Amino acid sequence: MSSSKDGTMVVLSSPSGAGKTTLVKKISKLKNFVTSVSHTTRPPRINEKNGTHYFFINKSKFKKLIKNKELLEHAKVFNNYYGTSKKFVYRSLKKGKNVLFDIDWQGANQVKNKKINYRLLSFFILPPSKKVLKQRLSNRHKKDNLIVKERMKQFEKDVKRWKDYKFVVINDNLKKCYKQILNIIKTDLKNEKIDYNKKLIKKHIKKLIWIFIFLA
């Protein structure tokens, strides 16, 4: 059973390149916030450190974690596996820490569907436009246009998962987006009404995917 002294799970997801990892890093610097460090089978990027950004392991070790039921959630993303350790999350929540999750929609749904007895806030981060997203991805993967094309192709599938989240935030300005997320977290923890424009979000999503979809 959770108590009023326990921490909150805060999930941030987004299509690749929309800025969730940068936002998680900024929020994690605040008092009483910690980032859940995921296990992954993908190779480290430049400047990434084992145990700080991810726990880098091979597929055999990852599958062993799944078999032993040591993961709170796990997913396969772009042919690599990612997963979150149960032990770290539960221990941190019991200490009153708010745990940040930098995970995709598959992992987010697993966390939500397990109905864990802790408060859960979930955010889906959107880019301001396809053009900006492509530029961000191009800057990240300067030498590999195929990766950029793959991420852009996946984008239209990922963006349709917005309904799985409690809140959707547009990252058109990092500072503004960061403040909006913090305001929602603080307001929700106080059990106060949150000023949230869902109509604006629906309109933005229609524009992003460039096709008419019915948004109930």
Question: pLDDT confidence of 74, banded at 50, 70, 90?
Answer: very high
Question: pLDDT confidence of 17, banded at 50, 70, 90?
Answer: confident
The verdict on residue 109 lying in a domain is yes
The verdict on residue 154 lying in a domain is yes
Counted domains in the chain: 1
Among 13-17, 40-44, 86-90, 195-199, the least confident range: 195-199
Question: pLDDT confidence of 168, banded at 50, 70, 90?
Answer: very high
The verdict on residue 19 lying in a domain is yes
User: Global pTM?
Assistant: 0.83
Q: What is the pLDDT of residue 93?
A: 96
The verdict on residue 104 lying in a domain is yes
The verdict on residue 162 lying in a domain is yes
Handedness of CA 28, 140, 13, 78 (dihedral sign): negative
The verdict on residue 141 lying in a domain is yes
Q: Does the pLDDT at position 1 exceed 50?
A: no
Mean pLDDT in residue range 89-99: 95
Share of the chain above pLDDT 70, in %: 94
In this predicted model, what pLDDT tens digit does every residue of 122-150 receive, in sequence order? 999 999 888 888 888 888 877 678 888 88
**In the chain, which residue ranges form alpha helices assigned H by DSSP?**
20-28, 59-67, 86-94, 105-113, 130-140, 145-158, 174-189, 198-209
CATH number at residue 173: 3.40.50.300
The verdict on residue 2 lying in a domain is no
Task: Tell me the average pLDDT of the chain.
Answer: 89
Q: Tell me which amino acid residue 8 is.
A: T
Structure tokens at 161: 């998962």
Q: What is the pLDDT of residue 126?
A: 93
The verdict on residue 83 lying in a domain is no
Q: Find tokens 């909150």 and name the residue.
A: 8
